Structure 1
Amino acid sequence: MKYISKTLYIALLLLTFGFAQAQDFTKVDNTVKAYPKFSDPDKLAAQVSADFKQDDLKARAIFTWIALNIKYDLAAYGINRQPVGFSYSTQEEKIAKQKIMRDDLALKTIKSKKGVCEGYSTLFAVVAEKAGLEAVIIPGTSKSHPAHIGKGPGASDHAWNAVKINGEWQLLDTTWASGVVTGEKPAFAFKFNDGYFFAEPDVFFLNHYPDDKQWLLTKKTGDDFANLPLYYGNYLMGGYQFLAPNTGSFTDRKYNVIPFKIKNLKQGDVVHYAFSKDRKIIQAKPLINNGITEFDVPLDNGSNGTLTIYINQKSVAAYRINR
């Protein structure tokens, strides 16, 4: 028999989500910032286990160290790698060989200090298990570009983790927590983002759909995922809630206007919108009704493409217009 591992092609999400965290992990993060640049998963796990006894603190320490020290490997992004295969005679042999492959990838990632999502998520799982935690690697589909609006889950292009804390699974993504890609000539820049640590499942779902539905940890569906707009990091960092529209794609010519309703806009916030084809940024003229900001975006024959909503000159959401 032969086992073929699934190759993951990662699209690094260039968003900076700011999910609210109920617990303050500042002390953990400050401790981890003083850690050396380990080159061995065993040594990192031993240091974490010595400094922290609670499972959630251990998970946070591992998450933070990886996000602060592993650089996203742009050179490896999108490379069409050949699947790795191996033969086995028993289930035990299969599991043992998978573990060897996983340990090898974790070691390669921590030694080189770079990787793509497969390396990030594998390193987290390996170190977490060595520190006494139960963790899994979750392959799935990401929503990271306006072209993804209207498309359901497809071939895996990303990988993240879940870790069991006090009997409950918590979701996290060390890849997207590590930084952003900037510049005309794309370059990775470290920018720690703890929004991807223990995010609520309904929030994590906005950009992550697992191959195995059990890891949704919510009742959302593939159709729900396809119909979502693209939410940029500033959407959640600002605490906004878009009550309308409830779809990310507009393909029917019956739509001459898109009504927007936004909750949690602050006094002084300014809303603009722009269509990708004309690149003209237009200031919206909102009305406030019972704390909800309402405005309309008119559509015409030249409105096709991507509609982006900006708040205070920062992109917060994108929609696909194809009428």
Structure 2
Amino acid sequence: MNKFLLLTILLLTTFFSSFSQIREVEESAKYAPKHATTSVAALADYLTANENTDRQKALNIYTWIVHNIELDIKAYTEKKVHYETAEYVLKKRKGISHDFANLFLKLCESANIETHLITGHIFTDNKSITTNFYKANHSWNSVYLDGEWHLVDVTWGCGVISKQQTKSSFFKKKSNFYRPQFISKVDYSYFCTSPKLFIETHLPSNPVWQLLEYEVTVQDFIAGRFPFANTVVRNSAKLDEYILLEDAESFYIDAKNAISYNKKNFSTMGVASLKMAESMLDKKDSTISKEELHDILSKYYEEATNSAYSYLRFIDLYSSIEIDALKLWVRHYLQQPIDKRQKFIDRNWINKDEIKEKNEQITSAYNYYQELKHKLGQKKYPELKKPRREVDYDEFYIGVQQARLVGIDSAISVSFEHHKTLEVEKDTINAKLEHASRDLRNLSSRQIKFLGRLEYLLKANVSLNILEHQAHQVMHVESNIKILSQQVKALEKLRTENHTVLSKQTSVLKRLYKDKQELLKGLYIKSKCNEAYKEEYDKITVSTKSIFHKQLDEKYHQYEKLKEHVSTLEIVNENLTQQKELIKQLDAIVIAFTDLKTKEIEKDAQEAKNMCDNIIQVSLEKANSIKKNKTL
């Protein structure tokens, strides 16, 4: 069984598992009466009272949350680090990922279901430039059902974020990018998801919550490398330890494991140490003396301070790396394709004077055609007539001229075949040129669509991954335009060369026809008016007329093509003018977009610094209080 087949089976299993879960959902779990939502305990009791299995209880809790709690867009956009209590989230019916996970945790705990809140990493809008995971940015849950640990993400199960255009102009107001909006879209695939699939989007800070035999490293997660043959481990000695731990202790162990797993992961250690200190104070364990308790608390406060300082030391470095990566990304994926399009427009855009000059060329071509047509209408072709006086039959002269005639016929045959080959070549080149020119015009027009789509996505402030895909589309079209432009130039050069050679060959053929007619005229006279020579002479006259009229048709064809070319140029020029305006807008949007993303990174860094400063201040105050008072 190959890798693809195994992956297909896994995906189908997940799908049908999700489908069966939907069927298990009771309608009453979606909508609870008002009296049942006054507290976490009341809601948990309502959702689980009539159920016999922990799995069904957890599914009911998941169902109610994803149907009734929505993402707090303001808090999500502003990236607030303040977490609300489960009771507050239940009242306001909105929150961020930590609030969702915490509400699920408290509801499950109230229903006596073992649950754990997991912090970790998911890729944000900056996935394409993210190379450092130094702080957790998402929360989800593990839940113990039927003797096994499972993974649940209620935030991702409740809906999606969409961007909508505001009525305000892009350049007039601060809200120049489209407003993010939460759209409720219930998804049961994030309830008890297979750890093999979950790891592709969720990286827990503590690797024990990967629930996999082979640990996926941070580097592998960033690069998207996941071992296919990775056994799911839903029970282990490490996991069993968590069942016996209190919240503060399990959070502290998570933080310790997170640092061992990722040396840059200082973000939760300071908070975990403060929680442990608070837990020690709340316990008031009589078996521990005051001096021992002082030492333990001092150790936790010192650990919290050191962790915050360590975290603080890396924040500026990693944010500057991310900003530099962003600027390189913008230059490569946004500015480069836009600049290439601008250069193409500058090379191919023509002004009104050039259009006027080309229209004059059309008039000149038409006048030349009319003049040639008039000349051909007036042209007199010589006829072979009987001589007025009788000429003696000259056998020697006829023999010599017959030999010359054979040579001329041979030259005409070679010249005619060459002429015929050039005509076929001309038709082939023209067909290819017309096809390439049409494709070039179509691609140039389509580039407006792709550039417009890029503008929309930039304003929508979508993820860099999506922008990267659209930029690839623009660059791919630009690459094809470049190739087609080169083909058109090469074909136009071939057409010019073919026209030159064909004109020369036509002149050679006409001269050979004329020479042959002179020979036939002499032979006709010396042979005492042999009608065979006259018939051959008349055939040459018809062939000569055909060549002249073909040249006339060719001139008219050139005139029509020139007219069509200028008409196309005007359309293309209008198209390129639109693109010029679009590129001006794109240049401004790219600058604004880069500034927006840079400020987001800087804001994240500043919030992290504020958190560190707060941890340091609280830790130092607590430690100094212990030293001064020597009492608790």
Greater relative contact order (CA < 8 Å, ≥ 6 in sequence): 1
| 3-state SS of 1:123 partner | helix
Aligned to 1:179: 159
Aligned to 1:12: none
TM-aligned CA deviation for residue 53 of structure 1: 1.6
Higher strand share: 1
Pairing of 1:195-214 with structure 2 (within 5 A): 195-214=189-208
Determine if contact 2:31/2:64 at 8 Å carries over to the other structure. no
> Aligned match of 1:22 in 17, 20, 33?
17
Alignment partner of 1:56 is 2:55: yes
| 3-state SS of 1:159 partner | strand
TM-aligned CA deviation for residue 192 of structure 1: 0.1
TM-aligned CA deviation for residue 189 of structure 1: 1.2
> Aligned match of 1:124 in 100, 104, 110?
104
| 3-state SS of 1:58 partner | helix
Determine if contact 1:106/1:119 at 8 Å carries over to the other structure. yes
Q: Deviations over 1:72-109 (max 9, x none)?
A: 0011115465679xxxxxxxxxxxxxxxxxxx710000
Aligned to 2:30: 33
User: What is the distance in 1 between the residues matched to 2:149 and 2:33?
Assistant: 29
Aligned to 2:76: 77
Determine if contact 1:19/1:196 at 8 Å carries over to the other structure. no
RMSD of aligned alpha carbons:
3.2
User: What is the distance in 1 between the residues matched to 2:472 and 2:219?
Assistant: 30
> Aligned match of 1:190 in 171, 179, 184?
184
| 3-state SS of 2:149 partner | strand
> Aligned match of 1:216 in 207, 210, 222?
210
Query: Which shows bigger deviation, 145-154 or 45-54?
Result: 145-154
TM-aligned CA deviation for residue 40 of structure 1: 1.6
User: What is the distance in 1 between the residues matched to 2:150 and 2:126?
Assistant: 28
User: What is the distance in 2 between the residues matched to 1:275 and 1:82?
Assistant: 31
TM-aligned CA deviation for residue 137 of structure 1: 0.4
TM-aligned CA deviation for residue 165 of structure 1: 0.8
User: What is the distance in 1 between the residues matched to 2:38 and 2:50?
Assistant: 18
TM-aligned CA deviation for residue 167 of structure 1: 1.7
- Amino acid in the other structure paired with 2:206: D
> Aligned match of 1:277 in 463, 467, 471?
471
User: What is the distance in 2 between the residues matched to 1:182 and 1:22?
Assistant: 28
- Residue 155 to residue 21, structure 1, CA distance change in 2 (3 Å): farther
Determine if contact 1:125/1:135 at 8 Å carries over to the other structure. yes
User: What is the distance in 1 between the residues matched to 2:17 and 2:103?
Assistant: 26
User: What is the distance in 1 between the residues matched to 2:63 and 2:47?
Assistant: 11
- Rg bigger for which structure? 2
| 3-state SS of 1:75 partner | helix
Aligned to 2:396: none
| 3-state SS of 1:186 partner | strand
User: What is the distance in 1 between the residues matched to 2:108 and 2:94?
Assistant: 19
Determine if contact 1:174/1:196 at 8 Å carries over to the other structure. yes
- Residue 82 to residue 226, structure 1, CA distance change in 2 (3 Å): closer
TM-aligned CA deviation for residue 146 of structure 1: 5.8
Determine if contact 2:101/2:140 at 8 Å carries over to the other structure. yes
Alignment partner of 1:227 is 2:223: yes
Determine if contact 1:21/1:195 at 8 Å carries over to the other structure. no
User: What is the distance in 1 between the residues matched to 2:144 and 2:43?
Assistant: 19
| 3-state SS of 2:17 partner | coil
Aligned to 1:158: 138
TM-aligned CA deviation for residue 217 of structure 1: 0.7
Q: Deviations over 1:97-141 (max 9, x none)?
A: xxxxxxx71000000000001110000000001011000100000
- Residue 155 to residue 148, structure 1, CA distance change in 2 (3 Å): farther
- Amino acid in the other structure paired with 1:187: Q
TM-aligned CA deviation for residue 279 of structure 1: 3.6
Which structure 1 residue ranges, 5 or more long, are not aligned?
1-17, 85-103, 230-250, 252-273, 284-297, 301-323
TM-aligned CA deviation for residue 166 of structure 1: 1.6
User: What is the distance in 2 between the residues matched to 1:114 and 1:75?
Assistant: 10
Aligned to 1:4: none
Q: Deviations over 1:141-196 (max 9, x none)?
A: 01244625763543100000000012211000000100011232211111001111
Determine if contact 1:142/1:207 at 8 Å carries over to the other structure. yes
User: What is the distance in 2 between the residues matched to 1:105 and 1:129?
Assistant: 14
- Amino acid in the other structure paired with 1:208: H
User: What is the distance in 1 between the residues matched to 2:98 and 2:51?
Assistant: 26
Higher helix share: 2
Determine if contact 1:149/1:228 at 8 Å carries over to the other structure. no
Aligned to 1:254: none
User: What is the distance in 2 between the residues matched to 1:168 and 1:161?
Assistant: 14
User: What is the distance in 1 between the residues matched to 2:81 and 2:74?
Assistant: 16
- Amino acid in the other structure paired with 1:276: Q
Alignment partner of 1:134 is 2:130: no
Q: Deviations over 1:258-296 (max 9, x none)?
A: xxxxxxxxxxxxxxxx8432544979xxxxxxxxxxxxx
User: What is the distance in 1 between the residues matched to 2:223 and 2:73?
Assistant: 29
> Aligned match of 2:88 in 108, 112, 128?
108
- Residue 183 to residue 226, structure 1, CA distance change in 2 (3 Å): closer
Determine if contact 2:48/2:60 at 8 Å carries over to the other structure. no
Determine if contact 1:70/1:115 at 8 Å carries over to the other structure. yes
User: What is the distance in 1 between the residues matched to 2:113 and 2:78?
Assistant: 32
- Residue 29 to residue 157, structure 1, CA distance change in 2 (3 Å): farther
Instruction: Using structure 1 for the length normalisation, give the TM-score.
Output: 0.57
TM-aligned CA deviation for residue 65 of structure 1: 0.6
Determine if contact 2:156/2:190 at 8 Å carries over to the other structure. yes
Determine if contact 1:177/1:194 at 8 Å carries over to the other structure. yes
Determine if contact 1:73/1:114 at 8 Å carries over to the other structure. yes
Which structure 2 residue ranges, 5 or more long, are not aligned?
1-12, 165-178, 226-328, 330-467, 483-632
- Residue 46 to residue 149, structure 1, CA distance change in 2 (3 Å): same
